[in-house]
Structure 1
């Protein structure tokens, strides 16, 4: 999961990276225009994979096509998203199980409280503005369907860390997601081996994905006790914890196991948006960092991106 940070310099030459921020980016942050120099303690070293969480979501509205396009322009190939399902069975890319925080659903549908994703049709959700809450320049951005999203990720030549969100609300979403991935060409050998990881906070959901497509790389979101890790290794390849819940010893315990594909288990931690924390988890030995501000993390630790 590592490459040399010389790639950072190449990206800077192409004008694809942004200035290092001095900490966590605010939700309405404007992306800087120039590239950071590698941090002194990371120059020439190896670094963890950096995943653009919901796209470059410090700088563009999360889970929109604009956010993954921006991640691409910043030079990041790995993006992360969240998948849920509409009332009429369409898979859409949105984090919350309600529409209120990231769209204008309250204004467009004032009588539909609490505005749950599963209570709206795909056509109704397509009417919503998913960008203005973040900033005027993103007015008119939409909640993408998963099919639209996959087509854009493919067009951008990006890789995807796909989260099945709240599967308990959507029976059968695992099968449906895999079917759509197959229809969009994402279950061939090249995509499965190099460009796709499926994760969930639900161990049962990860088990289902592994059972249906044992060739897929899977990840469990959480921080199981060390004694429980061998059970997870039976059906997953990675354990992806919140960064405040881990230690170097815990990361080493995960690395001490072989996962569902017989390879050393990996750890991708979330959500790290500032340089000191990025360096801290790198020193713990994590394999990847999931971040809203991927340029900040890359500037701090070097990375494979």
Structure 2
């Protein structure tokens, strides 16, 4: 079954601000209990949400529109990507700080080592082949801009887990992202509540984003000590750890806390590409699993 048939339930699992509006503590407890009960019912029926890491990156070049489309054909609603900024201020989708691994930049611009994203203009990056490294069928694939990526995700009726990549390299990138989200229609209620989570390994970047747009759902990438979790819960809604760093007890400790928007703190584990580990983290009770092979994980975690 395509997961879009349970879109409302996915909103409960992955969504952020605005689902509950509560005026008193007395009102809050029963309402939160009702949400938790709804989540438990959905989880029992469907298992954790599956998120395509850099798109369906085992089957198409990572962080390209082709990878977004491949996730769509596999029936995967959520895709994950990485956002960086070019020399002239355009936001583009690429994982590495260097263009060398996933484009032909070394051949096109041999004298510009180490080929950092921040040292190239958007027009220069747009000339690069971002697909041939993966396979001849993808020759000529381009590095998408954030605008192009958002439009494709919207076109496919998908949802986005966006990573702010290396924000220390790009001062002010949080505001740049907010502006692009607004320009492309991603700051309306429907997108903010149902279709968007922004995450980073950089806690300061997530704090900055939370100050700028407190309605956005945010996630911290990493495995903070249990004693430190309350600090993160003040400005984030998810703790998203590498799957090998967690236990069932750790996930339970995260779930005992209420996140920035008054709901249970969530856990999205990465990067799981095999059925055994997918079933393992499902047993831990994670809310989502991030995978390069989302179809493999989807089959493994589905009840």
Is TM-score (shorter-chain normalized) higher than 0.5?
A: yes
Map 1:36-185; keep pairs closer than 5 Å.
45-185=45-185
SS in structure 2 of the partner of residue 114 of structure 1: coil
CA distance in 2, matches of 1:58, 1:135: 11
Task: Using structure 2 for the length normalisation, give the TM-score.
Answer: 0.86
Q: What's the offset of the Cα at 1:7?
A: 4.6
**More helix by percentage:** 2
Contact 2:2–2:75 at 8 Å: present in 1 too? no
SS in structure 1 of the partner of residue 232 of structure 2: helix
Structure 1: 4+ residue segments shifted above 3 A: none
Alignment gaps of 5+ in structure 1:
1-5, 11-43
Contact 2:129–2:142 at 8 Å: present in 1 too? yes
Compare 270-279 and 208-217 and name the one that shifted more.
Answer: 208-217
SS in structure 1 of the partner of residue 267 of structure 2: strand
Higher relative contact order (CA 8 A, sep 6+): 1
SS in structure 1 of the partner of residue 198 of structure 2: strand
Residue 41 of structure 2 is matched in structure 1 by: none
Residue 269 of structure 2 is matched in structure 1 by: 269
Q: State the superposition RMSD in angstroms.
A: 1.6
Residue 20 of structure 1 is matched in structure 2 by: none
Structure 1 residue 286 corresponds to structure 2 residue 295:
no
SS in structure 2 of the partner of residue 84 of structure 1: strand
Deviations 1:210-268 (A, max 9, x none): 11111110000000000000000000000000001000000000000000001000000
How many residues are paired up?
Answer: 266
Task: Using structure 1 for the length normalisation, give the TM-score.
Answer: 0.85
SS in structure 2 of the partner of residue 54 of structure 1: coil
CA distance in 1, matches of 2:46, 2:258: 22
Residue 252 of structure 2 is matched in structure 1 by: 252
